[in-house]
């Protein structure tokens, strides 16, 4: 079955960096676009970033542009989110989520999420 | 950026009753709208895409309607497992993808 498993979350000080991973299985990873979506504690969902199936197209939310980098390693069936210059407002559960049709990105599968806490 | 507004923020419903949730877009999103259900401590789960198409395995008591800027999610007869938070998401014009603020369906 389709599985997305995030890891790499934790507690980090403001201004520091963290790299999240999303390990995919149960489907052909190289054929699907993947997004990151986050959720601050007690709040709603916020889209963060997108990468196309081949890595050629990448988009970011304005709130993370210039600080976060999304990438993928097809050989490892893994998606990454490199987060630099972290701010307290980046505190959230980070989900990776798959889309069936890249041009119509509704999310058919989500990971369980990994919590990032930015605090001094 | 398209702003999605959900109402009400909280809906108190008795088991077996009908629940109607609303989602409004700040500009037309055609029928490019999805609905998700999220339970505490869990990831969201897609219920509806294309404004009215139920996702695989979603019970028939969930239905979506609307197009343009006004959308509705209806749960025809609430079951205990349906008490959760529901989000709408537009994917017509992006980036950015945008979600509504959510409607919490609680037991009356």
- Chain B contact present for A59, CB below 8 A: yes
Query: Are the C-beta atoms of A104 and B92 separated by less than 8 Å?
Result: no
Q: Residue A19 has which token pair?
A: 């790299």
pLDDT of residue A76: 97
**Identity of the residue in B46, B94, B95 whose CB atom sits nearest the CB atom of A107:** B46
What pLDDT score was predicted for residue B73?
98
Please give, rounded to a whole number of angstroms, the shortest distance from the CA of B30 to a CA of chain A: 12
**Which residues in chain B show pLDDT less than 70?**
none
Whether the CB-CB separation of A105 and A97 falls below 8 Å is answered with no
Q: How far is A13 from chain B (nearest CA, A)?
A: 25
Cis check for the bond before B8: say yes or no (omega within 30 of 0): yes
Position A102 pLDDT exceeds 90: no
Please give the structure tokens belonging to residue A69. 């980098």
pLDDT tens for each residue of A13-66: 999 999 999 999 999 999 999 999 999 999 999 999 999 999 999 999 999 999
Which residue of B lies nearest to A58 if distances are taken between CA atoms?
Answer: B95
A90: how many CB neighbours lie within 10 A of its CB?
22
Rounded average pLDDT over A4-8: 98
Nearest Cα neighbor of B85 from B100, B96, B64 is: B100
∠ CA(B58), CA(B60), CA(B63), 5° rounding? 90
Residues 6+ apart with CB under 8 A from B103: B6, B7, B8, B9, B10, B11, B21, B85, B86
pLDDT in tens, A77-101: 999 999 999 999 999 999 999 999 9
| Predicted local distance difference test score (pLDDT) of residue A13 | 98
């Amino acid at each position: 079955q389709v599985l997305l498993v995030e890891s790499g979350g934790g507690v980090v000080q403001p201004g520091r960096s963290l790299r999240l991973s999303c390990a995919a299985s149960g489907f052909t990873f190289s054929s699907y676009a993947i997004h990151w979506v986050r959720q601050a504690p007690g709040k709603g969902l916020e889209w963060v970033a997108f990468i196309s199936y081949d890595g050629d197209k990448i988009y970011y939310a304005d709130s993370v542009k210039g600080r976060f980098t999304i990438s993928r390693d097809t050989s490892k069936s893994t998606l990454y989110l490199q987060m630099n210059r972290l701010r307290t407002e980046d505190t959230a559960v980070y989900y990776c989520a798959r889309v069936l049709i890249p041009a119509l990105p509704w999310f058919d599968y989500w990971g369980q999420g990994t919590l990032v806490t930015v605090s001094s | 950026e398209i702003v999605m507004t959900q109402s009400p923020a909280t809906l108190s419903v008795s088991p077996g009753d009908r629940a109607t949730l609303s989602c409004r877009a700040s500009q037309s999103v055609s029928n490019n709208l999805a609905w998700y259900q999220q339970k505490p401590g869990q990831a969201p789960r897609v219920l509806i895409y294309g404004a009215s198409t139920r996702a695989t395995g979603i019970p028939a008591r969930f239905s979506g309607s609307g197009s343009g800027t006004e959308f509705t999610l209806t749960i025809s007869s609430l079951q205990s497992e349906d008490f959760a938070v529901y989000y709408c998401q537009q994917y017509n014009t992006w980036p950015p993808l945008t979600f509504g603020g959510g409607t919490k369906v609680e037991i009356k």
